[in-house]
Structure formats: structure tokens, C-alpha cells
Structure 1
Amino acid sequence: MSAVLPALPMACVDGLGPADRFEIAIRPVDEIWRLFFAIASMGGMGSSGVQGAYGRLWAWGSMAGLSGAPEGASADEVESHARQSTWFHFEADTDWFHNDIGSDYGMPPSHPTAAGLAATDTD
């Protein structure tokens, strides 16, 4: 994955050169869930997020979309798809990433039907 990801058509890796820092690691699904929930419910820098229940809803939507769960899938179906997927977290030294602690996240696709997600936030 570390050789393929920088070549994908994702704006967050545009301009990434062979000597630039690029880090990728496999993460457990529970850690990804906590990350999505924290981002959705608490928001980013200077934002209040959408709070508890809507944070869970938005986190589930992210998990469903990235794991390839069908539209309208039940919570059990989303969980099954999410647990069958391989989850990665990446960061890179590109103009897109700010490399501030807690402000940049990249989730590349774990299988051909899923999309990658990258988010950045500054104050």
C-alpha cells in the first residue's frame, strides 16, 4: 500500500516526491471508529461539531462508505463490512497536509469499491 497510495489520484498526495515524508500504518477498526466519532461529534479547531447522536450518525456514514457497505445498510451490516476491511491511517509532507497534531487524517481505500478519505483543519 505504501508504494501505491502516493500514486493514487488524491489531492492530498499531489506533489509528493520520492524524498518527501510519507507514513502509513494499519489501524484497528475500533480506533478508526473513535477517530471518526471524535471528528464528527467534537468538530475540528474552532468548531463545536455536531455533538453525540449526530456524531455517531456521521461516523457510521463514513464507516459505511469507506467499507463498501450498501446504501441503507443496517448497523449490523455496516459493522460487518467495517470489520472485514483493512484500515490504514496516513500522513505526508505535502502542501495539503498541515502536519499539526490532531488536524490531518488520511484513510486510503481498503478495497476496490471504497473511496479514500482525507481531512485537514487549521485555525
Structure 2
Amino acid sequence: MSEPNKSNFNTIIQEIIKKSLFTERQIEIILKQKKLLDVEFGVSKGAYYRQVAQSRSKVESVYYTLILLQAYDVILPDSDVISRLAEQLNVMKDSDFAPENERQIVDVIQKAVKQLVNM
């Protein structure tokens, strides 16, 4: 069983999750369902499967949102910036960084996202 106050994610990933549509628990559930994270939850089966359904519904909504925003050219379908950020985050997800480096990395990601959103 995972400890209630111990995160399965480093500070950079935690910051990304805070700005996402998902909670840490929902990301843990998604990763567990995809067999990418081995974690036990201290909740009843009913509560767990309710959270699984909520997480699945949110992921589905994200896909519909991406389709809609791409259809209206708000998000470009082959955005190199998003791909590069995701690749870098994939490399960093299991690493530890000095707090000052974490802040710099989060700032760079925030600036990149703000530029993408610039409407």
C-alpha cells in the first residue's frame, strides 16, 4: 500500500500534475491500469473502480478536446514543441534534481506552454 503523504512522482512531475486536469491519484490509477506503476491503494474496491471510471472518462475527454482544438487549428497536430517537452519529461520522470534546477526546469516548461497557448 502506498503511503498517503509519499508521492510516487518527483517534484517536476508533481508540478505538471498540479497544472493538469488530473490529480496525482488519478495519474497513479491511469499508470496502474497501463501496468506502468505498481501501487496499492488503501480504499475499497468500489471506491477504486469509481476512481478508475473517473480517470478513464477524463482521458477520453482529453482526447475529444485535442480533436476539437486541432480541428479548429488551435493546436497544431504535429507540434514539435509538445513532442519535445513530452520526450524530455519522459527522461526526467525518474530522476532527482537539485531544487534550484527543478524550479528552472518547471519555469522552462511553463514558458513553453504559455507560448503554445498564446492566442
Instruction: Give TM-score scaled by structure 2 length.
Output: 0.26
Decide which structure has greater strand share. Answer: 1
Give the structure, 1 or 2, with the largest relative contact order (CA under 8 Å, sep 6 or more): 2
Point out the structure with the larger helix share: 2
Instruction: Flag the structure with larger Rg.
Output: 2
